[in-house]
């Protein structure tokens, strides 16, 4: 076989390999480019003394102790993994400084953050963030503390918290972006136990994941190895 014939025979599998690599990369990138679903809702948080932690129980089930800080944040997010935290530190001393302790009552500090204009429903403007010290009965739930300080509240038929102090006027956990077939957000701001926190949310939007990039890299490495081996056989 002449050198020209050998080169021609080698060129065919290389071209086919490169075409396969391009197709595989397109499929992988396409799978990672789908936009994650976003929902507009009130999320529920607990202060741990320094930071916020996403609540694992709904406000009607949770019965906070005296000196507890609770937070509510209105925003668009996919689930608990990428939910926006309240924009005020969970500082009980600062929030309840002007509310002295009282026998037969407990104090629950509340941070109510209606979020920012981009997250607001069309035609509505979010009210200002506010803090309040609710003084309620010792066995009161977080929902009762919120009701004592921020009426009117609005719930939907599934007992999901839809509005605090009348905001927003309409809507409740509606999807505002992403794939229509996605599940609803894991929102503990309900009167029943919320689902476990999602391990998938990373707040990074719909870009390719680390696993996707690793997969593409592995395909490319295999392709390079095949080309090198084919050249050695010439």
Q: Kindly report the pTM of this predicted structure.
A: 0.67
CA atoms within 13 A on the CB side of 35: 10
pLDDT tens column, 72-93: 999 999 988 889 999 999 999 9
Does 212 or 115 have the greater pLDDT score? 115
- Return d(Cα 84, Cα 129) in angstroms, integer: 14
Task: Report whether 139 contacts 158 (CB < 8 A).
Answer: no
E strands, the chain, where? 38-47, 52-54, 68-77, 106-113, 130-136, 154-155, 161-163, 175-177
The pLDDT tens digits of the residues spanning 157-175 come to 999 999 999 999 999 999 9
> What dihedral do alpha carbons 225, 227, 232, 234 form, nearest 10°?
160
């Amino acid at each position: 076989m002449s050198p020209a014939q050998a080169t021609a025979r080698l060129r065919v599998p290389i071209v086919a390999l490169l075409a396969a690599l391009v197709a595989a990369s397109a499929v992988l990138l396409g799978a990672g480019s789908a936009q994650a679903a976003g929902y507009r809702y009130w999320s529920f948080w607990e202060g741990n003394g320094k930071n916020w932690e996403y609540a694992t129980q709904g406000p009607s089930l949770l019965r906070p102790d005296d000196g507890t800080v609770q937070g509510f944040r209105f925003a668009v997010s996919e689930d608990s993994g990428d939910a926006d935290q309240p924009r005020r530190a969970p500082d009980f001393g600062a929030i309840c400084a002007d509310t002295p302790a009282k026998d037969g009552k407990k104090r629950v500090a509340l941070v109510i953050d209606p979020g920012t204009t981009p997250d607001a429903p069309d035609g509505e403007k979010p009210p200002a963030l506010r803090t309040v010290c609710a003084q309620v009965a010792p066995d009161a739930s977080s929902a009762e503390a919120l009701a004592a300080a921020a009426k009117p509240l609005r719930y939907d038929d599934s007992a999901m918290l839809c509005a605090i102090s009348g905001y927003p006027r309409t809507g409740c956990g509606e999807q505002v972006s992403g794939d229509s077939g996605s599940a609803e957000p894991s929102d503990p701001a309900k009167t029943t136990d919320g689902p476990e926190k999602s391990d998938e949310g990373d707040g990074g939007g719909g870009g390719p994941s680390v696993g996707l990039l690793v997969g593409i890299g592995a395909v490319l490495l295999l392709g390079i190895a095949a080309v090198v081996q084919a050249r050695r056989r010439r």
